[in-house]
Amino acid sequence: MKKLALHWKILIGMALGILFALGMVQFDWGPKFISDWIKPFGTIFINALKLIAIPLILAALVKGVSDLRDISSLSKMGLRTIMTYIATTVIAVSIGLAVVSMVKPGGTIAEDTRTELIEAYGGDAEMKRQDAQKQKDSGPLQALEDLVPSNIFDAASSNRNMLQVIFFAVFFGIALILIPEEKGATVKKFFDGFNEVILKMVDLIMLSAPYGVFALMAALVVEAPSADLFAALGMYAFCVVLGLALMVVFYIIMVKTFTGKSPKFFMNGIAPAQLLAFSTSSSAATLPVTMERVTEHLGVEEEVSSFVLPIGATINMDGTSLYQAVAAVFIAQAFGMDLTFGTQLGIIATATLASIGSAAVPGAGMVMLVGVLGYAGIPEAGLALIFAVDRPLDMCRTVINVTGDATVSMLVAKSQDKLGKPKAKNWDDHYDEVK
């Protein structure tokens, strides 16, 4: 019998957790049993995600930056590629913030339910509120001052200092590029191996995801049984999907404006890669198909696609960054926190940089979200609210990641005059679709 895919296991775990809790609350001793014997496994799972966040960012960013060594020979293309990727990511985060701010899914939670949430995570929520108030009262350049750590080991000891760790990782990676290759080879190999180990740890943690989701959902039903919480969760998922759909529209407009290719041509060309991305939730696993579709069916010359797409699979996570922005604001709304404009700008910066460090594997976006929450002073315990619906949303946002990679490859190819006719045999069938 064929083994179930992980996302199906997670969805089954979510459903069983809800059903189990609904059954247990019929007994007087049921809620206490779940709190004492089920909820701890959910807490352990969340702690494991938090445990791996800083090592994952450090390893992925150092490796990602140091892998760009060949930019020296392709400086014009490299700079244009990276700047375009960063620009699309900033737009994605901004769209996410705009959608969640207008819809306000967390605002639909009743005051009684919000009080229960704050009581459940009381100490954590209050501490984050105090930190947020300190941030609000600080000077205009405090965020810039806080960006540079005085001690990297001290910075790495807390997920709240994620932006400082990102700064160090990028700084370290740039320095690694600038020294002679033979002198940096040992360090490069270490971080390549370190990154592989961390990714394997992510894989192992994700194997426990169905059980973690079961425990989190069971505890959520017992501790906050109000239906409005689940309705708010549905609205949160709607916000993410709406934001991702708007990103697809943005990509289509960009392709049409700068390359002249029709939306139908672009979507037909990239569709198989999108479907594979949806099923695997991995930009890395989809990369070979993405390269084939972009080169053979979208007309990007291999010289460009072989350079732009691997970089995109590493640093371009538009769907992931959009989701992180929506999730952060939703959790803040659920806890009744009012995020200042400055904090939201910080979320844009943190989510953009964190998405660059996100590994192109399933579930890595949730790990990176820890850093975004920590920066904004939002209770990390709020991860329990959204993890149940994370897997299907992960599948959706990976589609956006891959679509963004294809879009940027076409834009860069056009700017380099390396965008021509597709090489695929069925090109004649679509010739009339291209202007």
Domain regions of the chain by residue span: 6-433
Tell me what pLDDT residue 258 has: 92
Tell me what pLDDT residue 234 has: 86
Tell me what pLDDT residue 125 has: 45
- Only one residue has tokens 């592989």, namely 196
**Token pair of 111 as six digits:** 């005051």
Fold exhibited by the domain 6-433: Proton glutamate symport protein (1.10.3860)
**Token pair of 340 as six digits:** 């200042």
Amino acid at 432: D
- CA dihedral over 143, 148, 153, 154, signed as positive or negative: negative
Nearest to 105 by CA among 227, 201, 231, 199: 231
Amino acid at 124: D
435 residues of the chain, pLDDT tens digit each: 457 766 578 778 878 988 999 899 899 999 999 999 998 998 888 788 778 767 877 887 787 677 765 545 446 677 788 888 889 988 998 999 899 989 988 877 777 766 666 666 555 444 544 554 554 455 556 656 777 889 999 888 876 676 688 788 878 988 888 888 889 889 989 988 998 888 788 778 778 878 888 887 788 778 754 667 778 888 999 999 999 999 999 999 999 999 999 999 999 888 888 887 886 677 766 777 888 888 888 988 877 887 788 778 767 888 888 988 888 888 888 877 877 777 777 777 777 776 665 555 555 666 667 767 776 777 766 777 777 677 678 878 889 999 999 999 999 989 888 887 776 554 444 434 444
**Token pair of 336 as six digits:** 């009744």
Tell me what pLDDT residue 164 has: 80
CA pair distance 211, 224, nearest whole angstrom: 20
**Token pair of 249 as six digits:** 């529209």
Given a contact cutoff of 8 angstroms between Cβ atoms, the answer to whether 99 and 326 are in contact is: yes
Given a contact cutoff of 8 angstroms between Cβ atoms, the answer to whether 92 and 321 are in contact is: yes
Tell me what pLDDT residue 141 has: 61
Whole-structure pTM over 0.75, yes or no?
no
Amino acid at 402: V
What are residue 434's DSSP bridge partners? 261
CA pair distance 102, 110, nearest whole angstrom: 18
